[in-house]
Amino acid sequence: MQKKGSITEEQLFFLADAVFLSLIALSLIFYLSTLQKDTTFEKTYVARDVALLVTTLQTFTGDGVIDYSLPLPLSVELTNEEIIVSEKGIGAIKHPFSRILTISPQKARDVTKITLSKKGGQVMLE
């Protein structure tokens, strides 16, 4: 016999499920809101893409120029071994490339477009 106003086991399970699902939904919303401001994906994409372009540029038979637009203002650094992409000097992403020719180490800060060029036997970032 049940008393009026008493909670059954089914009602407790339903209440526990509702609390559990709301905690999961809130944590998912919080996580997605932090991803909205994160630019790691864009920086990784640009680092890999520019590294591939440097490798490709080195294999040109003659001189060449490649203009590359960036998705947002980034700092791009070309070293002897890798591409370093950062946003305002924070959270640098590095990606190596195969070095065939002489690389002129250079840096472009907070730009939305870079130019890679090969003149003679040297690859440069402009």
**Within a domain: residue 4?**
no
Domain that holds residue 94: 40-125
**Within a domain: residue 2?**
no
Residues 63 and 82 in one domain: yes
pLDDT at res. 3: 64
Where residue 2 falls among pLDDT bands split at 50, 70, 90?
low
What is the amino acid identity at position 29?
Answer: I
Residues 62 and 32 in one domain: no
Q: Which residues contact 29 (CB under 8 A, 6 or more apart)?
A: none
Residues 88 and 34 in one domain: no
Q: Which helix (H) or strand (E) holds 62?
A: none
pLDDT at res. 1: 53
pLDDT at res. 5: 63
Q: Write out pLDDT tens, residues 66-77.
A: 899 988 888 888
Where residue 26 falls among pLDDT bands split at 50, 70, 90?
very high
**Within a domain: residue 57?**
yes
101 in Cβ contact with 118 (< 8 Å):
yes
How many domains is the chain built from?
Answer: 2
What pTM was estimated for this model as a whole? 0.70
pLDDT at res. 25: 97
Where residue 80 falls among pLDDT bands split at 50, 70, 90?
confident
Report the relative pairing of strands 106-119 and 102-103 from DSSP bridges. unpaired
Nearest 10 degrees: CA dihedral of 31, 47, 68, 76?
100
- Average per-residue pLDDT in the chain? 86
**Within a domain: residue 68?**
yes
For residue 105, give Cα distances in angstroms to 1, 9, 93, 124. Answer: 83, 70, 17, 7
Residues 66 and 55 in one domain: yes
Compute the distance between CA of residue 70 and CA of residue 100 in angstroms, rounded to an integer: 25
